[in-house]
Amino acid sequence: MEKGYFEEEGLDVELQTTWGGDKTMTALLSDGADIALVGSETSIYVYAQNSKDPVINFAQLTQTDGTFLVAKEPKPDFVWEDLKGSTFLGQRKGGMPQMVGEFVLKNHGIDPKNDLDLQQNIDFANIPGAFVSGDAEYVQLFEPTASTFEKEGNGHIVASFGEESGNVPYTVFMTKQSYLDENEEEVQKFTRAVYKAQQWVEENSAEEIASVIQPYFEDTELDLLASSIERYKGQQSFATNPILDKEEWDNLKAIMEEAGELPADIPYEDLVNTTIAEEIIND
């Protein structure tokens, strides 16, 4: 938004923040928003409830999980086995961060239900504070919170869930089928603006990106913000174009199934529209 790409397309975009994928999807379904940026798993949940107006994924923004494993104490020789017997403060049950977390743990031979004390009763916004004041030994955090914890001595990043889990449609712009049918030109303009931003992020340094997005992270120092962006760029979290491909969709379903959260095997073609993104990229 700060680079003016939406304005270039003649769009007046109002940004609203909602905490958690469930609340974001509720806003979209109740017409509190025209377009939502959220994990693709939410569109699967809606479709599985026999919605007459399915939610369509049309432009991918990030393509890996964005969380990191943070330990309360330094772990210079960390191995995943260290988690066994520990207290682990996780994310909301059924949400993408938690499902990815459990998927990675299982890949390393750790049973989240039996090998550690997995706590999932804390609201997203309160997880950092609960970790600092509580007795959990590990927590799953996003940037720039994870780097802030390191700088303040409240935690130590020991692993990346994004690097461990592979590419998934982690955050995707989506809208209801009815809105897409009635406002296809606006969605095309929106997607074109997103693609411009993706190209700009790909071509510019973490420091330059940080200086542009600083207004959205007023409580985070510029150098910390830049290091967080560099960490995400290093693990290729930012999609370089808006196309959500089938391999990513299938990986998402595999993660959901492993977590016991896949309500139905929803075909890629039913909930993903790549036509708009492909036309814009090839334009």
CATH of the domain at 157: 3.40.190.10
Strands 87-89, 138-142: pairing kind: parallel
> Residue 52's pLDDT band (boundaries 50, 70, 90)?
very high
Same domain, 132 and 261: no
Same domain, 175 and 157: no
Same domain, 38 and 126: no
> Residue 283's pLDDT band (boundaries 50, 70, 90)?
confident
Q: Which domain holds residue 159?
A: 67-165
Segment 79-138, tens digit of pLDDT: 999 999 999 999 988 888 899 999 999 999 999 999 999 999 898 889 999 999 999 999
Q: Is the backbone peptide bond immediately before 169 cis, with ω within 30 degrees of 0?
A: no
Q: List the single range of 14-23, 80-89, 239-248, 266-275 with lowest mean pLDDT.
A: 14-23
Tell me the pTM: 0.90
Rounded to the nearest 10°, the torsion over CA 125, 149, 209, 214 is 60
pLDDT reading at 205 higher than 90 = yes
| Average pLDDT of the segment spanning 171-196 | 98
Same domain, 192 and 56: yes
Quick one: pLDDT at residue 164? 94
Quick one: pLDDT at residue 267? 95
Domain count, the chain: 2
Same domain, 96 and 214: no
Same domain, 32 and 155: no
**Nearest-CA neighbor of 47 among 25, 20, 74?**
25
Same domain, 275 and 184: yes
**Nearest-CA neighbor of 101 among 34, 162, 37, 167?**
162
